[in-house]
């Protein structure tokens, strides 16, 4: 019976020691829960930053597209203006009255230059 009591006492002591070993489990669990909570918050922040980055990239893409479009419109307008001016000048050069004015002005300019050098 003493042996049985001794074994029982040893078993109880071992059980107490194993329960004492498990007492730190509560603290570890609390710590892990806090770490898990912090990880979830950091993941949420990372996701939010990824979304902001994606929106920023999309906005930049749209703005770049508008800049290209406006550049093309401006280039087209300048080309059309140049073509219009050239067409008007060519039409004026077909007019004999305009050609006579240009010729008369040229003769006057040449006479003035020659008279200055003489």
- Mapping DSSP onto H, E and C, the string for the chain reads CHHHHHHHHHHHHHHHHHHHHHHHHHHHHHHHHHHHHHHHHHHHHHHHHHHHHHHHHHHHHHHHHHHHHHHHHHHHHHHHHHHHHHHHHHHHHCCHHHHHHHHHHHHHHHHHHHHHHC
Query: With 80 as the cut, is the pLDDT of residue 20 above it?
Result: no
Confidence (pLDDT) at 22: 64
Greater confidence (4 vs 57) lies with 57
Reported as half-sphere exposure (CB side, CA atoms, 13 A), residue 60 has a value of 6
Residues of the chain above pLDDT 90, percent: 71
Whether the CB-CB separation of 81 and 88 falls below 8 Å is answered with no
Lowest mean pLDDT among 35-39, 50-54, 91-95: 91-95
**Would you place residue 61 in the very low, low, confident or very high pLDDT band (cuts 50, 70, 90)?**
very high
Chain CA centroid to CA 98, Å? 56
Residues of the chain above pLDDT 70, percent: 94
Query: With 80 as the cut, is the pLDDT of residue 24 above it?
Result: no
Domain boundary assignment for the chain: 2-117
Query: With 90 as the cut, is the pLDDT of residue 9 above it?
Result: no
Token pair in block for residue 11: 């078993």
Confidence (pLDDT) at 15: 76
State the first-to-last Cα distance of the chain, in angstroms, to the nearest integer.
150
Mean pLDDT estimate for the chain: 90
């Amino acid at each position: 019976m003493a042996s049985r009591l001794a074994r029982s006492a040893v078993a109880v002591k071992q059980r107490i020691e194993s329960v004492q070993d498990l007492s730190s489990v509560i603290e570890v669990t609390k710590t892990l829960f806090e770490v898990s909570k912090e990880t979830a918050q950091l993941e949420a922040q990372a996701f939010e930053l990824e979304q902001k980055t994606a929106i920023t990239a999309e906005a930049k893409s749209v703005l770049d597209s508008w800049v290209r479009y406006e550049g093309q419109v401006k280039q087209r307008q300048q080309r059309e203006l140049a073509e219009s001016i050239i067409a008007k000048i060519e039409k004026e050069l077909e007019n004999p009255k305009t050609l006579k004015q240009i010729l008369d002005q040229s003769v006057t300019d040449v006479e003035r230059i020659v008279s200055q050098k003489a």
